[in-house]
Amino acid sequence: MNDDPQEISTHLILEHGSPEAALAAAAEEAVDAQKKNDLYALSVWRNVKRLLRERAETEAD
């Protein structure tokens, strides 16, 4: 996994078409990391979700 939350969030938006859809995908990945007890990946996904929420709010304005 690429560890840069900014790159991951940008890639997810391109892949899923919107910050909201990307956020849903990131949430699924975070749940998967939690199930695997992968605290590092969970931390990365937490930052990705934060960036996606910020981007969604910015686009909504």
Residue 2 has pLDDT above 80, yes or no: no
What pLDDT, in 10s, does the model give residues 4-57?
Answer: 999 999 999 999 999 999 999 999 999 999 999 999 999 999 999 999 999 999
**What's the predicted TM-score (pTM) here?**
0.91
Contact 33, 42 (CB under 8 A): yes
pLDDT in the model for residue 18: 95
Question: Minimal CA–CA distance to 26: which of 16, 36, 39?
Answer: 16
Residue 1 has pLDDT above 80, yes or no: no
pLDDT in the model for residue 61: 74
| Alpha-carbon dihedral sign for residues 27, 29, 52, 41 | positive
